[in-house]
Amino acid sequence: MSARLTRTLRKSRNARLGLGIVVVLLVIALTSPWLATHDPRTQVIQDRLKAPSAQYWLGTDTFGRDVFSRLVWGTRISFLLGFFSTGISSIIGTAMGIVSGYYGGWVDTIVMRVVDTLMSFPTILLAMAIVAILGPDLQNIVIAIALTFSPRFARVIRSVALSVREQGYVLAARASGVRHGSIMWKHVLPNVVSSAIVLLTMQIGTAITMEASLSFLGLGGDPAIPTWGGVINDGRGFLQQAPWISGFAGIAITVTVIGFNLLGDAIRDVLDPRFSKQL
């Protein structure tokens, strides 16, 4: 796989661009305490709504807080929320998909009806409802995103599991009396994990966007916490007077989503056999 990934990066400019964006953002997230030029929560009222300058690289918001520092710290928060929420959703959805596809019958019917019910609601509305029930908090946003994204993983993994369960080695294991749990763990899971990884990579950007949307709507808890959605919300009333507040945060979200989508495409090309034959 490493050889195919190397060839993909060499041949595809988009793959290199996506990887570069993700690596740069990851470095920013890890080094945010040292990159931030100011305390992201410190309010300097006399410096409110200052344009970008040598003192404040990306200007200040309505409370005089440094926008650059808030975006740098927001990178760490967004990455943590994106990875955690998508990781949890991938575990839940993969488990649901394997069980549904392997057993079939009434088990498949029940699981898929639950999945269909969850997917019938607009994702953002379902996430808003979950956060409203649990309370506005970043941890609850992670739970909401994980629950709303799980059906996507379940549907994709189920389709793969349906094919894997008909393979000869799986049928032989079942005929020899191997426990179903052992078969799903040793034979089905390894064959669906590549699809889960591809979907995981491509959903991280969507999860970050979802988190920003919920924070923008005021569901992220403490407004002083520097999240990208919160920064956009801080500047929504000053788009003409101070466009840099929301503008730079919007650019950060856009670049992040593009980076993860391009990286996800590259990983799909490597892990999906239909594309591997072309490399």
3-state secondary structure of 122: coil
Give the model's confidence band at 138: pLDDT under 50 very low, under 70 low, under 90 confident, else very high: confident
Please state, rounded to an integer, the average pLDDT across all residues of the chain: 87
CATH architecture of 2-26+66-276: Orthogonal Bundle (1.10)
Tokens representing residue 86 in the block = 């998508």
Q: Which residues are registered as beta bridge partners of 66?
A: 60
Distance, CA of 219 to chain centre: 18
More confident residue, 269 or 101: 101
Over residues 161-175, the mean pLDDT reads: 88
CA distance linking residue 168 with residue 180, whole number of Å: 15
Over residues 261-278, the mean pLDDT reads: 67
Phi-psi region of 122 (alpha: psi -120 to 50; beta: other; left: phi over 0): beta
Over residues 46-51, the mean pLDDT reads: 90
Give the model's confidence band at 177: pLDDT under 50 very low, under 70 low, under 90 confident, else very high: confident
Instruction: Determine phi and psi for 55, rounding to 5 degrees.
Output: -80, -45
* pLDDT above 70: residue 278: no
**Sequence-ordered list of residues with C-beta below 8 angstroms from that of 40, at least 6 positions apart, any chain:** 65, 66, 69, 70, 72, 73, 226
Question: Residue ranges per domain, the chain?
Answer: 2-26+66-276
Give the model's confidence band at 150: pLDDT under 50 very low, under 70 low, under 90 confident, else very high: very high
* pLDDT above 50: residue 275: no
Contacts 24+ apart (CB under 8 A), 39-44: 39/66, 39/69, 40/65, 40/66, 40/69, 40/70, 40/72, 40/73, 40/226, 41/65, 41/224, 41/226, 42/66
CA distance linking residue 273 with residue 279, whole number of Å: 10
Q: How does pLDDT run across 73-105, given as a tens digit for each residue?
A: 999 998 899 899 999 999 999 999 999 999 988
Q: Assess contact for 101 and 160: CB atoms under 8 A.
A: yes
pLDDT value of position 272: 60
Q: What is the pTM of this model?
A: 0.86
pLDDT value of position 276: 43
Closest CA to 244 of 81, 48, 79: 48
3-state secondary structure of 239: coil
Distance set, CA 139 to CA 81, 130, 144 (Å): 8, 12, 9
